[in-house]
Structure 1
Amino acid sequence: MVAVAAAASLLALTACGGGDAEDGPATLRMTIWSSSPDHLALLNGIADEYRKSHPDVTAITFDSLPLENYTTTLTTQLAGGNAPDLAWVLESSAPDFVRSGALVPLEDTLRAASDYDYDDLQPSTTKLWTADDHLYAYPFSTSPFGVFVNTDLVKKAGQRTPAELIKAGTWTWDAAFALGSAVQSKAGKAGLVVRDFDYKTWDNLATVWGGWGAEAWSADGKTCGFDKPEMVAAMTALHEAIFTAKALPGPGTAPDFFAGDAAMTITQISRASLLKDQTFGWDLVPLPAGPAGEYSVIGQAGIGVLKKSAHVDAATDFLAFLTDPANSTKLARFFPPPRKSQLNTETLAAGNPLLEPEQLQAVVIDGIDSGTVKPSHVGSAEIGQQVRSALDPLWKPGADVRAVLGSVCAAIAPLLKQ
């Protein structure tokens, strides 16, 4: 119930007004989900550069919160009077933050910033973060999911690599599950890992069920999609892959692809830095095609300024600096930018030396052109909690997939209509 109460407090912020008056030097705090040393070094470097010309900002700190409980922790901070000045906002909770009045409109400050080129922002990337012609968060990361492949493990299991399957026109979910099963049985390692899912973060499974054309709910957000035939088929295939074919590790195990413990993992290019010291051969390929054809799924995150910040003006000004063209290029090393001028292999390759231009084109650029964003909805904390709880019975052998998915809809249908 903590997540539900915290979300309710977020929605009440509109009536609570802004933060304290901006008197004296500003110390800014920004919450983020990553604790990656590379991410933090990049952000701290940009912050240090900003402070050189802004002595009134005495410190900028980045507060790393665990991804699994990120939004719950952030909204709890808001409810407890400990609001950060800026925050990363995940796509799942974007509607709550955008519509709650918790965030400061950004467009005037960004348009006025020197050499910012606001019109370079691709409209499709700002849609989720816009309401009533106001931009409430800058979509600094619009990142399609791809499949990282340990080609050494694949070859050890005597299998064709995904790249070879792509050339043959047979890179499908059936082939991916078969490959994962073969690696598990012949090489003694995990086959396929949906990174950060861990049988808890259910919306990461959109990277799988999208191949069947399934959706968590309808485009208008009012109708549950878990009991629809496409979702039943997708989850049945996934369940069989986990518990019969052993293509994916079951609950309670957490093999790490980047430590060489799995043949494939579904994640985004921001994780590529974890491969810089690895010695095994690897590749990055698009998601497999499903019965509904080829598709792409995008994870998106925005940076917003909290109205409860004690230094709204300073925080908004820093956000304009953090996301200007020069720093957007730096962020593109990990986070595909929303700028039309920077969505090209030259910009992305300059910041991602471990990845080939062909990989960036196929997974990132083409993925942004055709992809759909992971599920999001008003009241995401309560809906997400209900989905996770209702899905729990699915993660065991012999589960009645159709019945479990029906129970998901029974749990969330009233919430979707609110």
Structure 2
Amino acid sequence: MLKRVAVTGLGALTPIGNDVPTFWKNTVAGVSGAATITRFDASLFRTQFACELKNYDPTLFLDRNELKRTDRFTQYALIAAAEAIADSGFQFDRMDPFDVGVIWGSGQGGMETFEEQVTEYATGDKRPRFSPFFVPKLIANMASGMISIKNGYMGINYTTVSACATSNTAIMDAFNYIRLGKAKIIITGGSEAGITPASIGGFCAMKAMSAQNDNPTGASRPFDSTRDGFVMGEGAGALVLEEYEHAVSRGATIYGELLGAAMTADAYHMTATHPQGLGASKAMHIALKEAGKTIMDVDYLNTHATSTPVGDLSEIQAVLALTGTQTPKMKISATKSMTGHLLGAAGAIEAIICLLSMRDSIIPATINTTNLDPSIPENLDIVLNKAISANVDLTMSNTFGFGGHNGIVVFGKS
């Protein structure tokens, strides 16, 4: 018999808050994290703004050696994971270390480390003076490895990479391992540190990002008829998934239950989503079926919607493939309008939003959207500009990634 899976801990490091309480407060308030890039001079780039972390001081959390040996994406992972672990309240010294694992995701891994080291080599005297930490800082699995090393977790440990569906993939894998009885607790989520010259430059070359340089805070406008691309974000989201009965036996606070998860592929295009959302709709259907639910049971859908002209509408098509002409009760919002797009970390922080939405009976808004795309039918209720109070018992979070990856998770009240 498959085991039930609870969420017992949350951690967040985001452009609108460096911990879960601050992040959630600003999400409900509709705060934008977008501003002119400060990490490097982006004045010659097509896009010159992003959603950077604010007042971020890693020395408050990590020692000198940890900072020296890790890329920012791993630092973000360690900080968010530490908050989630503390929040869960489980006492590791009372457990078999092989019962606790880490499944973490990152779409780009140590991009900053790669840029710095290769640039230094290319512009220097071409002698092989790479840091001995170059490879360990660069590789995408180091975040999961370091969470394990720092905490002594000796169970399942690996990294998922499925572009912007990455952390939902990690969450789904953790869900499956626990319900199959292969772990009792898994720290999961994703981190990304993609605000670098190469990353920003690459997305600029694709014209995938908004170029509203005169209005950064209003640039991410999902579903708006004037949307012109996504806004880059950075940070991490962490969840502690736990075998339900184990969580109950120790008196843990349970944020919700992970009821279903699914992945499909579009098999369509390297970067574009399927125009009819065929893969996305199938993934939603499978995840909901696994949860014993249908789209008509969902109270809140946190969409992937990144504010791109094509992607937002293909997701709407995917939803309509399930609702048909029926009017669903669910409310819909796109919180990337506030956080920007955290790539491989997006699913994790949006899962946190779904869980807190259930806890507090609040549905956050899609900000900046003032002219709803006329092709979006009236039977879809998109929450605009201001969060609302509503009973939320079932939530679904969508993520889609370059390569045609679709990752869906469904949470319910425990």
Q: TM-score, normalised by structure 2?
A: 0.25
Computing the radius of gyration from Cα coordinates, the structure with the larger value is 1
Q: TM-score, normalised by structure 1?
A: 0.25
Bigger proportion of residues as helix: 1
Bigger proportion of residues as strand: 2
